[in-house]
Each structure stands twice: as C-alpha cells, then as structure tokens.
Structure 1
Amino acid sequence: MDKPIIAFLYDFDKTLCTTDMEDYTFIPSLGMTPREFWALANGFGHTNRVDGILAYMYTMVQEAEKRNQPFTRESLRNMGRDIVLFPGVKEWFRRINAFGEEQGVQVEHYVISSGLREIIEGSGISQEFKEIYASEFYYDGEGRPVWPKLTVNFTAKTQFVYRVNKGVLDVSDDKTLNDSMPDDSKRVPFTNMVYIGDGLSDVPCMKMMRAYGGQAIAVYQETNRLGVEELLAKGRVDFIFPADYSEGTALDLTAKNIIRKMAIVDRLGEENSRQLRSIGGDVLPNQVGLF
C-alpha cells in the first residue's frame, strides 16, 4: 500500500525569504529603492485598473528596457542567488522529509507564490519542491519575456491548493481539475495539508485549511509580528511562530507534531477501513476526517 502523503504548501516572500524577492537584486539594478518601484507598479495598476500581479510584471519589463538592463529568464534565475533565506530553511526540507519517513508518511513540498518562478528557481532550494506555482513569463527563443504565462494573485492561490488536493498539477489541465472526484480518491486530502504563510495575502489559503481540516501557520519577523498576531486572534491561523526553521525551534517541533498527528489519523482510518471490509461493511467517503 502506498504511504499517505502530507503536503506542506508555502508562500515564498517573507515566508521562506526575508523580503520580496525582487527587492534583493532586480530593483537595485534599476537604481531604484523598493519603495519607489512598488509605488510605481501599484500606481500603474490603480490608474489603469490592472491586476496587481500583472502590473508589477509589466513594470519590471518596462523599467528594465528603459535602462537597457538585461531581462531574460537566465538573468532572473541568476538574481535568485542573492535571495536571503530565513535561518534553517535550507536544512528544513531534508529534516521534515526524514521525520515523515519515520512516521510512515511521505512529505511533499509546494510553493504557491505571487513572486516570480524564475527567481525562485535560482534560489538554491527549488529542487526541494514537487511543484512551484508562481507568476511566470512566456519567453521567446532568446529568453526574452513576451507575455505573462501565469499570474498568481492572492485569491487565485486557492486553485493551486485544489490542484495539490486532486493531484492535477499541470496548470494547463483545467478539465481534470474540474471533473467530479470522490473525496476518498483525492491524492492529498485537505486534512493532510499544512499551509505556511506570513500575512493577509495568504488568508484565502489559510481559511481553506481551517475550513477543511488542514493546518495553517503564519511566520513573522518583528516588523510584521502585530499583523500575524491579529491573524491568530481572529482565528485565521492555527499557530504563529518567528520565521526560524532551525531544528528544535517552536516551528520545527510543531510541524513534526502535526505530521505525527496526521500520520496517526491516517493509520486509524486504515484500521477502521480494514475492519469494515472484514465484516462486509461500507467505508464512508473521507471517513478519515471523522476522527
């Protein structure tokens, strides 16, 4: 029998790295401050009623062209090398995967980010993720962006949670995603999901976790601690922790306890199903979630 799967879903900016990924190298290369760039991008979006993610992607291309700065798939990937990850992030995936193995489950990791996939691919941890859902350009044969390929705004993030749930990971496959599927045949039950984010942009996904039996965690730096505490007070997340993924931290220990709990629930569900089959009874759909 295949091992149960537990999926960790992550925002990226200010969740795994310390600030917006464009702030590290791209914006300074324009001779701008992050405040100046984001004011320009947001102003363009508001004036022209453009989706915020499309607005910043357009502004990136326009400002780079004005300054004759290289803007290609490869240049963006190279910028990913300058990302500053939170303490413990690089070792986190190996450690969490190993703990899952000890508990008899398979742990998978996914990114759901409004940032750029290309920069994430250069971050040094992209190989840890089964799939990266992030905003992305379509490039011509010379690696230059010609059109937005995918945009991931705050509410659109939830569709990717459903993709992980059903195991329909190809973003071009909408038909299978929307096909009816019994709960007990879905690849990763919501009850086996953990979403880790940092703020209001993650609330739609966090609310899904809370509504469907998964777990929602918010991490914080001192600059956004009050906002994260408000999420906890309003019942939008289950836990909040400093953004330190090192072994032995409160975040590390709680993540392991969540895996342990989910693994136990899966084992209880399997035993219940075995007993029902042995007496010729029926297994209720999604019965594991009833424990």
Structure 2
Amino acid sequence: MSEKTIVAIMYDFDRTLSTRDMQEFSFIPRLGMDSAEFWSFANDLGTREHMDSVLAYLYAMVRMSEQRGIPLRRSQLVEMGRSVEFFDGVEDWFDRVNAFGRECGVTVEHYIISSGMKEIIEGTKIADKFRSIFACEFLYDSSGKPVWPKTDVNYTNKTQFVYRINKGVLDVENDLDLNRSMPDDSKRVPFCNMIYIGDGLSDVPCMKMMKAYGGYSIAVYQDRKKVEALLERNRVDFIYPADYREGSGLDVTVRNIIRKMAISDVLFHENAAQKRGQE
C-alpha cells in the first residue's frame, strides 16, 4: 500500500464534539446573560440587518462585551476553551482512531470545519489533535482587542475547506492554488477517503458533498428526531448518538469505513501495478 494514503475526518465542533455551543460555557455567562438572550440578540440583528448570521454573532460578542465594560481579548477567548465540555469518548477518540488507521496501513488526519470561534477551540484539551482548524476568527490590534472579522465560516462556505483539504491547500490566504486546476490523481486527499461528522442542517452542504463525491457523512445527535430527516432524505449516510467511546455505533462504523478505504487503496495499487506490468 502507498505510504501516502491519507484518510481525512472532518468535524463540526458545537454539538458535534462539544455538548453545547462553545460560547455557552464561559463567554455568555461572563456577560451575565443566559444563552437564549444572547442568541436571540444575535439572530434578531441578523434578520433585521439582512446580515450573515455568523457575522451577526461575531458582532454581538464584541458589542455586548463593550456595553458591559468587559474587555474582550484574544488571550481570554483562548482561555475560555478550557471550560468546553465534550461528549463521552471524545478526548481519547483521536488517538484511538489514529492507532486503528496505522493498523490498516493508512494515516488518519483530523480537521475542524466550524462556524464557532477558532480562538476558543485552540484553548480546548483536544486542539492539538487537528492538522488544521478552520473556524471563525477575529483580527486583533496590538493589544489583542478584536477590530474586524478575519475569517467567517458560514454554513455554505464550509465546503471550500473540504476542497482545501482535498488539494492540501490549508492556508486560507492561498486562493490561487485552491482554484487552480489539478488532476484528480495528484490531489492530496481524494474525496473517497473523507469522512464528515456533523450534527445538523448547518452541515448539510458538506454532507451532500461527501455523498456526491464518494466520501461518507455521519450525523451525530442528542435528539434523534433532529437528524432523522437527514437520513430519510438521503442527505447523510449514517446517524448515531454523539457517543465516541470505544465500541459505540459511531466508533464501529468509522472503523469499518477506514477499513474499507484501506482495502480500496490496496486494490487500486494492485490494479495499477498489473497495468504497468502489461506495458
């Protein structure tokens, strides 16, 4: 088997790996607000101003901090990542999956594609498990104060990051190489070697992309009713409780997908070798 065979697992973050939206663990309580109040303000702002919903919540974070005289700094957002809580099994999931990949002869890489805050994710216990974290981010001045949205990962543009992983163009500044035509056999991670794990409608564009191009998509849930329609409408391959522990349904299926990808790669290279032998 080729040593370059890579399996990429891509994750949403909020309610996929973490049990709640990441702002709800520290940021919103710090404002003296409850979650419903904060998200209502952000959502109403977006509706009223015909605004991208992600940009609306980023603005709400800055505005509400300023109104309450509470400084918002990058270092504080990173520190807030320490309070994020994860579903059962998440914290040791990545090492277990990586080890299984090695047993199968492939390299497993993990990526975040999230509309949440990159700074908060960077402060979590699992931040070092990802090859890249694609998420919303502020531009900061010399004091660490946010002055402008630097990256906006909304529900539809999530798919660009799938293409970045596919081509190995992980620098979000590099659009030239991202848009450059590239033969399929030279792309770093084929779509058929990708798995996307998310929790709902915001992940549908990436999930449908996986189904269209030969990868796999999995919806995890706390309430099964919220994702059943995704399965019924053929928008996702599998649905499972958000349980990442060894032996769970999610764990077994991801292992089986990795095993299938590894076997497919073996057969591909065997076929290529035979064709070369006939030349």
Superposition TM-score, scaled by structure 1 size: 0.94
Match for 2:273: what amino acid?
A: R
Instruction: Work out the CA distance in 2 between the residues paired with 1:168 and 1:42.
Output: 33
1:136 is paired with a residue whose SS is strand
Aligned to 1:259: 258
Alignment of 1:180 onto 2:181: yes
* 1:1-291 superposed matches below 5 A: 1-222=2-223, 225-280=224-279
1:28 positional shift = 1.1
1:46 positional shift = 1.1
Instruction: Work out the CA distance in 2 between the residues paired with 1:38 and 1:52.
Output: 10
Match for 1:141: what amino acid?
A: S
1:71 positional shift = 0.8
Aligned to 1:288: none
1:123 positional shift = 1.1
Match for 2:233: what amino acid?
A: K
Aligned residues with identical type, % of pairs: 61
Instruction: Work out the CA distance in 2 between the residues paired with 1:231 and 1:188.
Output: 26
1:69 is paired with a residue whose SS is coil
Instruction: Work out the CA distance in 1 between the residues paired with 2:273 and 2:169.
Output: 28
Unpaired segments ≥5 residues, structure 2? none
1:59 positional shift = 0.7
After TM superposition, the runs of 4+ consecutive aligned structure 1 residues lying more than 3 A away are none
Unpaired segments ≥5 residues, structure 1? 281-291
Match for 2:269: what amino acid?
A: E
Instruction: Work out the CA distance in 2 between the residues paired with 1:186 and 1:176.
Output: 12
- 1:196-240: CA deviation from partner (whole Å, max 9, x where unpaired): 000000000000000000000000003xx2121111111111111
2:60 is paired with a residue whose SS is helix
1:273 positional shift = 0.6
1:257 positional shift = 0.4
1:236 is paired with a residue whose SS is coil
Superposition TM-score, scaled by structure 2 size: 0.98
Over the aligned positions, Cα root-mean-square deviation in angstroms equals 0.7
